[in-house]
Amino acid sequence: MSIEIKEIYTRNELKEFVKFQFELYKNNPYFVPPLINEELNALDSEKNPALKQAEARYFLAYKNEKIAGRIAVFINRIETKELKIPKIRFGFFDVIDDIEVTKSLFAKVEEIAKANNLKYMEGPMGASNLEKAGMLTFGFDKIATAIGIYNYEYYPNHLEQLGFEKEKEWVENYLTAPETLQQKIYDFAKLVTERYKLKILQFKSPKDMQPYIKPVFDLLEESYKDLETFVPISEEQKAFYAKKYSTILNPEFITFIEDGEGELCAFAITMPSYAKALQKAKGSLFPLGWYHLLKAQKKNDIVEFVLIGVHPKYQRKGVTAIIFLEMFNTFKKHNIKWLETNPELEDNQSVQALWTDYNPVLHKRRKTFKKNI
């Protein structure tokens, strides 16, 4: 029973690469499939600007002439050359429950790492830090989020058998939207707003938000630049992700805050859950995928918490109280009952503390795994 690892190059081969997960998770009630064309674009160096500053290679594993696994290998040049981090990234990893197939895929990753004088491999992650990351290690019986990775329980077992160890860990919480908020939250939000002359921005359409997309990414960089894992975001990447998400974000679920000088100082992005809609779409907007996604955007009782950013000079000054008051009002208006967080670093206590009034229940954990070469 031979195992063959084949590097792929063409658009048709990439379709096989993308569609393998659909077969692997067929009839799995927790897997949320991506839109096929969107994932193809993410893997295309002509369309995804993150790949202009990274080397990307894609491999399929064949066992008995059938696809048995896949993996993507990324070398982010800013990370390796400018930041001097000798890391090779792996992502888009899926495999049947066969340790020999997994071993063959990672032998290829190691081969590429050695050829480039890189010292360790880490993943799953994308070519940039704005893409999906982290292998599920707890919560296999929970439906994935639209921007989360789902995998079978044997995945981390395979990596541990091959000598991988935990590098970073994230947690995800399931929250109950409160019926009411304490008066002190209203009073504190008002106090902070007046003290710092803050202004809450409201939008009627995605088009209205466009002028603020670049400032959001600028603020994101400012908020996270001190993290050792931070890799700068190019202007092309900012434009790419702005276009990608502007079509699915509902402006009513987004909070932007300006300071007294007209500068964006904080933001929070939530969105109606598209998980079940994507399951119904089965990888395509047509014939009815668009309908399921549109319906999920307009009528939903679950939202996903996507991202929050606060400028360093406004951190620990109560700005999050304003954000959560705005979120509460939006959730009440749209009859939202539950909120699901996307991955948050386990040791980021300031973010974990935000959910105290939402009765948080830890329901997923995920990790990136690292192995020295």
Question: What is the pLDDT, as a whole number, of residue 109?
Answer: 98
For residue 256, report the phi and psi dihedrals to the nearest 5 degrees: -115, 140
pLDDT at 227: 64
- 134-158 pLDDT, tens per residue? 999 999 999 999 989 999 999 999 9
Instruction: Provide the pLDDT for residue 228.
Output: 59
CA distance 73 to 88: 7
How many CB atoms are located within 10 Å of the residue 197 CB? 10
Query: Which pLDDT does position 1 carry in this prediction?
Result: 64
Which tokens go with 353?
């503390």
Residue 230's pLDDT is 67
Domains 3-170 and 178-336 belong to one CATH topology: yes
Task: Give the pLDDT of the chain (373 residues) as one tens digit per residue.
Answer: 689 999 999 999 999 999 999 999 999 999 999 999 999 999 998 889 889 889 999 999 999 999 999 999 999 999 999 899 999 999 999 999 999 999 999 999 999 999 999 999 999 999 988 889 999 999 999 999 998 999 999 999 999 999 999 999 999 999 999 888 889 889 999 999 999 999 999 888 877 887 887 788 888 887 777 665 667 778 788 777 777 776 677 888 999 999 999 999 999 999 999 999 999 999 999 999 999 999 998 899 999 998 888 898 898 899 988 998 999 999 999 999 999 998 888 887 777 777 877 889 999 999 999 999 9
Burial of residue 345, with CB atoms counted within 10 A of its CB: 0-12 exposed, 13-18 middle, 19 or more buried: middle
178-336 domain in CATH 3.50.50.60? Answer: no
| pLDDT for res 43 | 95
CATH class of 3-170: alpha beta
pTM exceeding 0.95: no
- DSSP H or E run through 48: none
Q: What is the DSSP letter of 49?
A: G
Beta carbons within 8 Å of 10's beta carbon, 6+ residues apart: none
φ, ψ at 61 (rounded to 5°): -105, 135
How far from the centroid of its chain's Cα atoms is residue 180's Cα?
A: 30
> Residue 254: exposed, middle, or buried by beta-carbon count in 10 A (0-12, 13-18, 19+)?
buried
Residue spans per domain, the chain = 3-170, 178-336
Output the CA angle 18-23-25, nearest 5 degrees.
100
